[in-house]
Amino acid sequence: MAVMKVKLYGSEILRKKVAQLEKLPDHFETLIADMYETMNEEKGIGLSANQVGLDMSFFIVDFGLYDEKYGRQIFINPEILEMEGETLDEEGCLSLPGINEKVKRADRIRIKYKDANFTDRDEEYFDYLSRVIQHEFDHLNGIVFTDRISALKRSFIKNKLAALETEAKEIEAEETAA
Ligand SMILES: [Zn+2]
């Protein structure tokens, strides 16, 4: 297993609507294992494929970090069918280290997706789990959580965002040169 590089705010792939999967990608189990290792290393509860540079519609979560009765789960080609209610809570993101902001989210969602066996699922989630899913689902559509705060609040963190963008560009330039 290997820890992967998490793409920072400013990376192009975080602004892309990623491609739907027709089938499970090759070496999917290894990929997922690496993604979980990356997520655990960074103490995250969710990670989307484009956060590790993959143009693929899926994300992983480890709900066990929130409540032991839940576990790890993979959401492929997710589609949110229903959203209801409103909650406000703090979020962070492995692609935006050092930034935490309160974000409005729906309280209840109904989501359709394929699981790790590429089997269709249709489930409801509430509260914090629903929040994590909405955050990851946003990633697959090129949206990051700071897009969902007010312009005023965003102006308070504009230096942090600009610094991340610069860092992301530098990393990409190094990778291209290598
Ligand atoms: Zn995130």
Look up residue 135 and give its amino acid: H
pLDDT of the residue at 119: 97
pLDDT band (50, 70, 90) for residue 111: very high
Q: How many domains does the chain have?
A: 1
- Residue 72 C-alpha to ligand 1 middle, in angstroms? 17
DSSP H stretches of helix in 8-69: 28-41
Considering the domain boundaries, does residue 5 fall inside one?
no
Q: Which two tokens stand for residue 60?
A: 């992983």
DSSP H stretches of helix in the chain: 28-41, 127-140, 151-156, 158-177
Considering the domain boundaries, does residue 137 fall inside one?
yes
pLDDT of the residue at 67: 82
Please tell me the pTM assigned to this model: 0.96
- Residue 23 C-alpha to ligand 1 middle, in angstroms? 24
Q: Which residue has the higher pLDDT, 14 or 69?
A: 14
Considering the domain boundaries, does residue 3 fall inside one?
no
Report the catalytic residues: 136
Say yes or no to pLDDT of 1 above 80.
Answer: no
- Give the tens place of pLDDT for each residue, 41-66: 988 999 999 999 999 999 999 998 88
Q: Which two tokens stand for residue 86?
A: 């409103």
DSSP state, 147?
Answer: G
pLDDT band (50, 70, 90) for residue 73: very high
Considering the domain boundaries, does residue 31 fall inside one?
yes
Say yes or no to pLDDT of 69 above 90.
Answer: no
Count of C-beta atoms within a 10 Å radius of residue 1: 10
Q: Is 53 left (phi over 0), alpha (psi -120 to 50) or beta?
A: left
Considering the domain boundaries, does residue 35 fall inside one?
yes
- Give the tens place of pLDDT for each residue, 138-171: 999 999 999 999 999 999 999 999 999 999 999 9
pLDDT of the residue at 5: 94
Residue 152: CATH number of its domain: 3.90.45.10
DSSP state, 150?
Answer: -
Considering the domain boundaries, does residue 6 fall inside one?
no
Q: Is 67 left (phi over 0), alpha (psi -120 to 50) or beta?
A: beta
- Residue 135 C-alpha to ligand 1 middle, in angstroms? 6
Considering the domain boundaries, does residue 151 fall inside one?
yes
- Residue 27 C-alpha to ligand 1 middle, in angstroms? 24
Range of the domain at 118: 12-177
- Residue 176 C-alpha to ligand 1 middle, in angstroms? 24
Considering the domain boundaries, does residue 136 fall inside one?
yes
Which residues, chain by chain, have CB under 5 Å from ion ligand 1? Answer: 93
- Residue 5 C-alpha to ligand 1 middle, in angstroms? 14
